Amino acid sequence: MAPSRTAPADRPSRLRPGSRVAVVAPSGPVPADRLEAGLGVLREWGLEPVVAPHVLDVHPELGYLAGTDADRAADLQAAWCDPAVDAVICARGGYGAHRMVDLVDWAAVRAAGPKAFVGYSDITVLHEAFALRAGFATLHGPMVATEAFLKDAPTREHLRATLFEPETVLTLGLDTAAALVPGRARGVLYGGCVSLLAADAGTPHARNGARGGLLVIEDTGEEPYRLDGILTRLLRSGALEGVSGVVCGSWQECGPYEKIRAVLADRFGPLGIPVIEELGFGHGPTALTVPLGVEAVLDAPADGGRCTLTVEAPALR
């Protein structure tokens, strides 16, 4: 049975110079030039990137997928179960993780133990799977073939610090962060791209409640009425039952922000929990890395003071 309570997960070990990092493509096709540029950044950090066999594949009929479902799942599982691999970073999001997630042998993944896993957007599906099927903490962060990682220095540096020196980035929040609903809450971080969470709701391995959880959400390309439907589905399904607070990131290309803000206030306000808006993660130009599966404190002062999300222990051991 899917859990109704969000519990702390096993944290992976931090990276060091020489760590081997597998790059996988669980979702959409990966541009070769962007991949090579991203691999160059990893090498500059002193890491040894290992590109999974099917990263540059394109599905023979469905061109929005990076190869077949079976191959994408096999790449992820092989990378995770390889004892010589220290971390797994996704190349990009797009679409496709829902199609391959059930093809992964999660018992084998669980037996292999935790590793640093990085991704966002469509990768939300895998964050939830690692949390619920394996019990591992993961990192909602930039991927190596995405624009923010390649073009935004603060985005890259925050991920680098999280991987190598996680104790230096315990408090998260850009200057844009503000209190949509003031208050303070503690819980275990979970979430990601909210449309993917809604798509997961009701499936056999999805969570059926959120007691003890702090929800982090963002999205891209969703009109206000569609975001309303997404949040309403999560509320009606019981997936948000007991959630202690909500932290919102970017809403890139989701329509005028004042209308998005109105939807967030309408759907979350009646819950009586604190909500931070525009913390600074997701599809925006600067994307902080947010640990998932670890305990944190949301602080949204009513007096207009700085809003923050503070992780209570480093994301990586």
Name the residues annotated as catalytic: 121, 218, 283
Contact 257, 265 (CB under 8 A): no
d(CA 63, CA 55): 14
d(CA 129, CA 164): 24
CA dihedral over 306, 311, 313, 316, signed as positive or negative? negative
Among 310, 315, 278, smallest CA distance to 293 is for: 315
Task: Write the CB contacts of 106 (distance below 8 Å, at least 6 apart in sequence).
Answer: 129, 133, 134
Q: How far are the Cα atoms of 18, 30, 55 from residue 35, in angstroms, in the given order?
A: 20, 7, 9
